[in-house]
Amino acid sequence: MKRMKAALICAAAVGIALFAIPANAGSIMQKGSDIDFSSAGLGNLKHAGGTVEFSRGFGNVLTIFDAPIHELLAPSGSHGPSKNGLYAITGGEMNVRTGACMEFCMGMNGSGFQGANFSGVGSSLTITGEIAGLGINRPELLIAGFFSNLGSNAPATHVGLNKSTNPKDPGAGGMSSYLDITYINPILVDLLHLKGAVGEGQLSEIYFNLDVLLGSQSWSGTIAGSDLNVALTPTPEPANIMLLGSALLSAAWMLRRRNEI
């Protein structure tokens, strides 16, 4: 992820085709420099952990608790102390709550896949942790936001879930979401040369290891890896205020969305 800025631009184009996101989504902006929170650590290995839960049914929400976040990659040109822009996060956690399930909420197709769409109403995303390399020496809120379709016709959140018997992606899943950022830690605002701490972006990837619980209508599992890549680009007004743009997931599990019920 850390050396794939050009690839992410291509992934955004692929993602638009896969998710049928209209081009006039307005808030989706040309990619600039970016900040990347991820579950990767030493050796660029993703760390699993936390839990994901979803009970099938219209109006139900999907929750993610304590997804591990181990690293922050600052944008090119940031003036933090790290020469390569990498900062270790201690005790980093991502917590997510979607809005109510709106479409494809009830069950799986014949191959064991369920692709559900969720509202952004009542949703939330937070990342907390310590970043000693930036002088954040105790657990603090690093970033917060909620999911939104940003005025487009696309769902605020799309989630793909695969049963263990799915021949192509057994027990796997993931999500992609538009994101309204409501808070960025002031130390990060300074690092990123931002004026203000709000904007718009996209959750680029959260991978699940999960399955349907026996004897129930619920999906449950662990988080296999997480990544929140937020692109930054200037807005026309006022000068020097930055908005968070978009980075789209181009992952194999999303191809299953074509088989939705």
Q: What are phi and psi of 180, to 5 degrees?
A: -95, 115
Going by the DSSP 8-state scheme, the letter that residue 42 receives in this structure is G
Exposure string (b/e) for 146-170, b if CB count within 10 Å is 16 or more?
bbbbbebebbbbbbbbbbeebeebe
Count the neighbouring beta carbons within 10 Å of the beta carbon of residue 211.
Answer: 21
Q: Which domain holds residue 100?
A: 5-259
Say whether pLDDT at 78 is over 50. Answer: yes
Q: What are phi and psi of 245, to 5 degrees?
A: -85, -135
Domain count, the chain: 1
Q: Please name the residue that has the structure tokens 């600052």.
A: 74
State residue 76's pLDDT score: 72
What band does 150 get if pLDDT is binned at 50, 70 and 90?
A: confident
Average pLDDT in the 125-131 region?
96
What band does 6 get if pLDDT is binned at 50, 70 and 90?
A: very low
Average pLDDT in the 17-40 region?
48
State residue 127's pLDDT score: 96
Q: What is the pTM of this model?
A: 0.76
Structural tokens at position 22? 């209209």
